Structure 1
Amino acid sequence: MCYNCLDTPDPVCHTISCNSTATERSQQMRAAVLNEVGKPLVIDDLTIAEPGTGEALVRVVAAGVCHSDLHFIEGTYKRELPLVLGHEVAGIVEAVGPGVTNVVAGDRVIVGFVQPCGYCDRCQSGRPNLCETQTTLRGPDEPTLRRGETPVGALAQIGGFADYSLTPASGLVKVPAGVGLDIAALVGCSVTTGYGAVANTARVEPGSTVAVIGAGGVGLNIIHTARLVGAERIIAVDLVEEKLDLAKEFGATDSVYAGRGDAVQQVHDLTGGGVDYAFEAIGLKQTARQAYDMVRRGGTAVVVGMVPPEDTIEVPGLIWREEKTLKGSFYGSARFHVDMPRIL
């Protein structure tokens, strides 16, 4: 059955399972390919493999543009090229490979960008976002994507800027009826990352004070979740005043325009000594250090943004005396099959 044509023959349908599609095109699709760092993505025709053991083929219905994708375009984070980006994805399962039991063709799903193995120490301890092995079902000579004879990579084993994604089924989360796939796609990354940073990583307590550096997609979800869990004061920090206005719609009680003086001092002035929790949602070592400096004694600073891997975040030696905590948050410390349905 073709879930794009709904069984109605369509000569221009790109759905792989459609009976109207010619045999030689049965595994062809379009994708936005990164061929060179710093250059625009190129729309190209690729061949996608059929699902193997443990894999699912998903027709992409919605794909968010996350700032993390820009890191790979700019070369801040490196991957072998050519590469199909896109990791904030929702769609409809077209087909599944042998051994897949958690989804069937026709299911509406979020395509998670971590595919937990379920067996390693981190998975067994309830931290699948930190899976030590990741579900990798193909060898280097078995790419999911090709352009002619050239293998093409898929970011996070998703490659969502395409008609289809062939991915390990362990990363799929079903979307309830009535929830739009455009909304579900955002839950695949920015919403879960922001929600989990507050609810799972930091475990923000009711009545506490919070600062959020960066009022982009992830930062706004941090702000909104902080409001939901009962934070008394939520301070948004950004260099763009329009973002600060939007942050107040999401629940910020105060705003700090970082272009007007020392942002750390402004937060201290507003709170009389610093906040209980500070979140860095940009990905710079300078703002990560600012988050640390914004928290009061005994406070917690959480780095959510993708700080470049070669950078070092320095903290004062007196960290022992102040009992401050600096910690990272990857994918919101989420248990995907619990947190994502809860969010939806």
Structure 2
Amino acid sequence: MMQAGEGAMRAMVVKKWGEPFALEERPDPDPGPGEAVLKVRAAGVGLTLVTMRTGVFGGEAPRVMGHELGGDIVAVGEGVTNVKPGDRCAVYFYLNCGHCRWCHGGRETLCENHGGYVGVHVDGGYADYVVLPAGNFLPIPDALDYESAAIAADAVNTNWHCMRERAQITPHDDVLLIGAGGGVGVHGIQVAKAFGARVIAADISDEKLDYAKQWGADEVINVRAVDDIAEAARKLTDGKGVEASVDYVGAPETFGAAITALTKAGCAVVIGAKPGNVEVNPIDLLIGEKIVTGSRHSTRTELMETMEMMAKGAIRSAIGKRVHFTEVETLFEDLQAETLLGRGGLTYDD
């Protein structure tokens, strides 16, 4: 394993969008005014990063990727008061302005002056250190480890926002999760269960569904073994349908099934997204007062709430495989092959 020289760090760099990672030595970062430097202790890897690396999210390469991060603040720039060296912090990866009507209104993911994402539009944390605006660092609760904080910063808080604010899940609900065996989905199972719901997990293989059961799914649907996902969900609810459905895949056929599976006053939420259009019957929405909506990441406050929930043991990080951050390419290969169960985890030197 390569060790960086004095005053230098290791970084996994995408030299051009679409290319594999390359290990490089770079100078240790110095914080500018309003910035802080984090020594990375743990990171998460999920399917969104595979999409990000294609270049579809924009941003310029070469780029150090990685946005699910936990670590220690080691330096701060002029004017920084919210963090100090020694603080344990997770990263909020949206680069928002903090002063538009959406940021002030508690919906900062809709920021009018959105500056992009950590690991896409600025360098991220698949490196020994990362420098970011100090406001993007949030404190990790004392009882929470670095890895869980890193996973909270996308895989868990995305579900927290989706299920509490968008789907508004309650204890009497049946909830269908499509893509439940993936890195976000298995955490969605836990969040839905924390709200008291009965969870129906749908995915492409028995292996993924067995994994979903391990994390609390009550019923499962192998989408490759049924002709109609929505009909299968209705059979598991005595013909009623589900009060909420969350589609982590976002393909036209999966989101169409998420909508069709709804009962009266049900809510279908899309988190993942793929190209294509979905046909919706407006009469069905009208008569049943059904809701079709999207859900985008979370606010800083929701990330802090998520970490507190994990610190109390209500939700646990589901890591399917761990490698050193210099071997991150192997996790991307697993994600592309659809063989990774749960989230990928990256380890760092002590």
TM-score, normalization: structure 2? 0.80
Who is 2:203 aligned against?
A: 238
Match of 1:129 among 109, 118, 123: 109
Q: Root-mean-square deviation (CA), in Å?
A: 2.3
Question: Aligned with 1:89: secondary structure?
Answer: strand
Partner of 2:9: 29
Q: Any idea what SS the aligned residue of 2:94 has?
A: coil
Tell me: CA distance 1:86–1:294, structure 2 relative to 1, closer, same or farther (3 Å): same
Counterpart position of 1:270:
236
- Give 1:241 shift: 1.0
The DSSP-based 3-state class of the residue aligned with 1:185 is helix
Match among 182, 205, 209 for residue 170 of structure 2:
205
How far does residue 75 in structure 1 lie from its aligned partner after superposition? Answer: 4.7
Shift of 1:328: 1.0
- Structure 2 vs 1, CA of residues 260 and 249 (structure 1 numbering), >3 Å: closer, same or farther? same
Whether the 8 Å contact between 1:116 and 1:170 is mirrored in structure 2 is no
- Displacement of 1:229 in angstroms is 0.9
Deviations 1:209-248 (A, max 9, x none): 10000121211111111111111x2100001211211212
* CA–CA distance in structure 1, aligned partners of residues 210 and 60 of structure 2: 39
**Contact (CA 8 Å) 2:68, 2:154: kept in 1 or not?**
yes
CA distance, structure 1, for counterparts of residue 75 and residue 207 of structure 2: 44
Matches within 5 A, 1:33-52: 33-47=13-27, 49-52=29-32
Deviations 1:91-135 (A, max 9, x none): 111111112111101111001112443322112112233333247
Q: Tell whether the 8 Å contact from 2:60 to 2:121 is kept in structure 1 after alignment.
A: no
Superposed, 1:210-229 pairs within 5 Å as: 210-215=175-180, 216-229=182-195
Distance 1:39 1:330 in 2: 27
Q: How many matched pairs?
A: 304
Give 1:41 deviation, angstroms.
1.0
Report if the CA contact (8 A) 1:200-1:332 is conserved: no
Q: Which moved more, 1:75-84 or 1:321-330?
A: 75-84
Q: Percent identity?
A: 34
The 1:313–1:49 alpha-carbon spacing in structure 2 relative to 1, beyond 3 Å, is: farther
Q: Name the residue aligned to 2:265.
A: 298
Cα distance in structure 1, aligned partners of 2:49 and 2:212: 23
CA distance in 2, matches of 1:254, 1:121: 42
Tell me the CA shift for residue 178 of structure 1.
3.5
Give runs of aligned pairs for residues 277-288 of structure 1, distance below 5 A.
Answer: 277-288=244-255
Question: What amino acid maps onto 1:51 in structure 2?
Answer: P
Aligned CA distance change for structure 1 residues 135 and 38 (closer, same or farther; 3 Å): closer
Is 1:65 aligned with 2:45? yes
Counterpart Cα distance in 2 of 1:131 and 1:48? 31
Q: Bigger radius of gyration, 1 or 2?
A: 1
Report SS of the residue matched to 2:82: coil
Q: Contact 2:87–2:139 at 8 Å: present in 1 too?
A: yes
Q: Which moved more, 1:126-135 or 1:189-198?
A: 126-135
Answer whether contact 1:48 1:166 (CA < 8 A) is retained: no
| Amino acid in the other structure paired with 2:186 | L
Contact 1:85 1:154 in 2 (8 A): yes
Matched, 1:184 2:164: no
C-alpha separation between the residues in 2 aligned to 1:251 and 1:161?
31
Range with bigger deviation, 48-57 or 69-78:
69-78
Find the counterpart in structure 1 of residue 293 from structure 2: 327
Q: Distance in 2 between matches of 1:334 and 1:284?
A: 28
Report the TM-score, using the length of structure 1 for normalisation. Answer: 0.81
Offset of residue 48 of structure 1:
5.4
CA contact (8 A) 1:299 1:323 kept: yes
Contact 2:64 2:124 in 1 (8 A): yes
1:250 to 2:194 alignment: no
Aligned partner letter, 2:196: G
Q: Is the 8 A contact 1:135 1:168 kept in 2?
A: no
Structure 2 CA distance for partners of 1:122 and 1:323, relative to 1, 3 Å: same
1:144 match: none
SS in structure 2 of the partner of residue 217 of structure 1 = coil
Aligned partners of 2:298 and 2:255: how far apart in 1? 17
Report deviation, 1:162. Answer: 1.1
